[in-house]
A and B are shown apart, each in its own frame.
Chain A
């Protein structure tokens, strides 16, 4: 009789284990919405010498990402209604932070860096706790959501020329460009994100969107796609796809873009920077920009006569 009771005792435990296991399998499915379609195929990513595999990221995507980006990658996770800005819709394969020209797919490294960096002024955390392999796998997984990754190749990364020295003239020229290119219409005259168009802006999915407020934040302030001057330069040239921030690749020359970077840094009034040091040394005022005259044979002679040279 005792033996029989022992069997029942173990049977009860085993039943519970099996019940949990079976139901877990049944429930190992999307938490919101329909079953996701089968991934396009197993995608890969290549970050340095690391190869990421989408099949290895399924668990991590569900654990860390799906609550916002959705099981389908469509940016419709259960938290989406409460988030501002809205999470990225991976099915469109449109990404803000790229090293590639507007309209093209980002490189694997762009997505990899975005995961580790997080996105300031949004709910996207800094996922620097992942291993490199985890991140590379997640990049590959993100690529399973859109057929664009099968049909297109990522764009070529732009080349960023060496940064020229910061001078009061470069800041002054940057200010002139800020006005000429009408950056102030969105970002406001003082870069506070309060330009006349600011309240009307929407992203490509008609969600309201706010322009960057340069004046907020101190030394730890970051931009959406990085924190260095080179990152800001990249934003001008590539634009932030899916937002009203256009690419200026066809509008300004590299040196002009650097001058604009230098001016934007002085709009970050609470941040210690070489640009703010230069401005301070110049008395705290940005002199009006005087456009240089183009070198013509006539004024070359004039310069030589005045003792000027090359």
Chain B
């Protein structure tokens, strides 16, 4: 079945794609021959360090870069306060990626033909645009502001926070306030891959089919306050964050009056020639509303009550095998309350970009359910639970060239629609849902090559392929949903300035 699928994918590849690829190679060779950009990325310009000092391959941090970040974007070398900066210093970096990509999605319902087909398209495209600005306002007062746009130029605030660093002179006392990335050791905001499905960690975003809980996505930036502490050499790190259960959405539009806590801890140790190894854990425990007051069937912001619980927890390991090869592993066990499993929870339609477009409430088709007083769960409803893991490996050929591979698997261990379930659930199934419904298997391979390496700008030639398989989420044929395979090939110039 899979082979037939893939044959269809390749069968649709036009000659023009190969021609475009060849042209891109030539362009790449010409461009890579021209050296040295003159731009000044923010931190590298401030401190006079090459990008490679902090990044294994930008934007992914290495151990030194992680320590720099944990110190509040400071080297702790008496040159951290802005007074030491050249008055012409401009702490802004922008990043955008012109790309060519080929996306192929299987089992797409259409009006024509048999009603289900694979859609494959390719062409030149753009990523969104990020304006990063951050640094120190004064010694031990740091900030970060990141307005970010989607490819059409619609902006939102991806990150906005202030941070008090090294309170009372202790690296164990740092407080961050605003919208920020959770303290994930494997940072999704510094991910090395760019495709639609490979550009996020599925483990950080997995939601069971039909589940209305959008609030447990640890990959999304969140609104709240974070305590973080670390040893002087960053071998030991701990953090605890209290966040609104809003998945980072502003205006108290959802999840009002409900909060989530996120904890991490990790310990690194020297392993001789192998390098510095790190192991740690994370845990997210929270609750979110399932009932909103409505007006004209539209939920009123800030009225969410009937909070229900959810949790995510797992282990993280970063293992180095000498200077060239490393592997990072993240595991997750997730559980949502049965109400979320039946589609209650999210009353807000996301614009897919961290912002919101409109509120939405049942009985409007496609909208989440509202837990009105007196509502009862269908018989056989259970708390959906699942397990997942991410394994990401890097081969660092040189500071200029990195090869990336990643494998992720998300497996349901208990569906919300249990064996006794007789209703038609939000998953689309009548009666019990198949045990594998929503399972995800995906891999990504790619490489990034930096034709130059200075402290003035970053430029990467990026090439990546992602394949994703999900069980049972395609159109229903009879009583069974079809499995969906999606693939994407991406080439591009990823640069920041």
- Seen from chain A, the residues whose Cβ lies within 8 Å of a Cβ on chain B are 2, 5-6, 8-9, 11-13, 15-17, 19-21, 23-24, 27-28, 31-32, 56, 59-60, 62-64, 66-68, 78-79, 82-83, 118-129, 131-134, 217, 219-220
Residues of A within 8 A of B351 (CB): none
Residues of B within 8 A of A119 (CB): 77
Residues of B within 8 A of A2 (CB): 7, 10-11
Nearest Cβ distance between residue A217 and chain B, in whole angstroms? 8
Residue of A nearest to B169 (CB): A220
Would A20 and B449 be within 8 Å (CB), given that A2-B11, A5-B13, A123-B47 are in contact? Answer: yes
Residue of A nearest to B50 (CB): A67
- Contact residue among B7, B25, B63, B276 (Cβ-Cβ distance under 8 Å from A15): B25
- Contact residue among A9, A59, A219 (Cβ-Cβ distance under 8 Å from B398): A59
In contact, B323 and A60 (Cβ under 8 angstroms): yes
User: B121 on the interface (CB 8 Å rule)?
Assistant: no
B interface, by DSSP: helix, strand, loop or mixed?
A: mixed
Residues of A within 8 A of B489 (CB): 13
In contact, B78 and A131 (Cβ under 8 angstroms): no
Nearest Cβ distance between residue B234 and chain A, in whole angstroms? 6
- Seen from chain B, the residues whose Cβ lies within 8 Å of a Cβ on chain A are 7, 10-11, 13, 15, 17-18, 21-22, 24-25, 28-29, 32, 35-36, 47-50, 52-53, 63-64, 67, 75-79, 86, 169, 232-234, 270-273, 275-276, 323, 397-401, 447, 449, 451-456, 461, 463, 465, 489, 491
A-B contact pairs, 29 of them (CB 8 A): A5-B11, A8-B15, A11-B18, A12-B22, A15-B22, A16-B24, A17-B447, A19-B25, A19-B29, A23-B449, A24-B400, A28-B400, A31-B35, A31-B452, A59-B398, A63-B399, A64-B64, A67-B49, A67-B50, A68-B48, A83-B48, A120-B77, A121-B78, A123-B49, A125-B76, A128-B232, A131-B271, A131-B273, A131-B275
Q: Which 9 residue pairs across A and B have the least CB separation, nearest first? A: A79-B48, A24-B401, A67-B50, A12-B21, A6-B10, A128-B233, A20-B449, A2-B11, A63-B52
- Contact residue among B18, B49, B447 (Cβ-Cβ distance under 8 Å from A12): B18
Nearest Cβ distance between residue A297 and chain B, in whole angstroms? 55
Q: State A129–B232 Cα separation when bound (angstroms).
A: 10
Nearest Cβ distance between residue B121 and chain A, in whole angstroms? 15
In contact, A133 and B273 (Cβ under 8 angstroms): yes
Would A67 and B53 be within 8 Å (CB), given that A17-B463, A120-B77, A126-B77 are in contact? Answer: yes
Q: State A220–B71 Cα separation when bound (angstroms).
A: 15
Residues of B within 8 A of A12 (CB): 17-18, 21-22
**B77, B271, B401: which has the most chain A beta carbons within 10 Å?**
B77
Would A132 and B454 be within 8 Å (CB), given that A5-B10, A24-B400, A82-B48 are in contact? Answer: no
A interface, by DSSP: helix, strand, loop or mixed?
A: helix
Would A78 and B53 be within 8 Å (CB), given that A16-B463, A122-B77 are in contact? Answer: no
Would A16 and B21 be within 8 Å (CB), given that A2-B10, A131-B276 are in contact? Answer: yes
In contact, B397 and A9 (Cβ under 8 angstroms): no
Residues of A within 8 A of B49 (CB): 64, 67-68, 79, 123, 125
Q: State A279–B455 Cα separation when bound (angstroms).
A: 47
Q: State A127–B13 Cα separation when bound (angstroms).
A: 50
Q: State A22–B246 Cα separation when bound (angstroms).
A: 47
Residues of B within 8 A of A21 (CB): 397, 401
Nearest Cβ distance between residue B220 and chain A, in whole angstroms? 29
Q: State A216–B401 Cα separation when bound (angstroms).
A: 43
Q: State A23–B27 Cα separation when bound (angstroms).
A: 13
In contact, A20 and B232 (Cβ under 8 angstroms): no
Residue of B nearest to A78 (CB): B454
In contact, A66 and B50 (Cβ under 8 angstroms): yes
Give 9 new A-B contacts, CB below 8 A, not counting A6-B7, A20-B449.
A8-B18, A16-B491, A24-B398, A24-B401, A59-B398, A62-B399, A129-B67, A133-B273, A219-B169
Q: State A123–B233 Cα separation when bound (angstroms).
A: 18
Residues of A within 8 A of B67 (CB): 129
Q: State A152–B397 Cα separation when bound (angstroms).
A: 36
Residues of A within 8 A of B453 (CB): 31, 62
Residue of B nearest to A31 (CB): B453
- Contact residue among B25, B48, B323 (Cβ-Cβ distance under 8 Å from A123): B48
Nearest Cβ distance between residue A67 and chain B, in whole angstroms? 4
In contact, B32 and A27 (Cβ under 8 angstroms): yes
In contact, B397 and A24 (Cβ under 8 angstroms): yes
Residues of A within 8 A of B24 (CB): 16
In contact, B77 and A123 (Cβ under 8 angstroms): yes
Q: State A60–B52 Cα separation when bound (angstroms).
A: 10
**B17, B36, B449: which has the most chain A beta carbons within 10 Å?**
B449
Residue of A nearest to B7 (CB): A2
In contact, A125 and B78 (Cβ under 8 angstroms): no
Residues of B within 8 A of A60 (CB): 323
In contact, B18 and A20 (Cβ under 8 angstroms): no
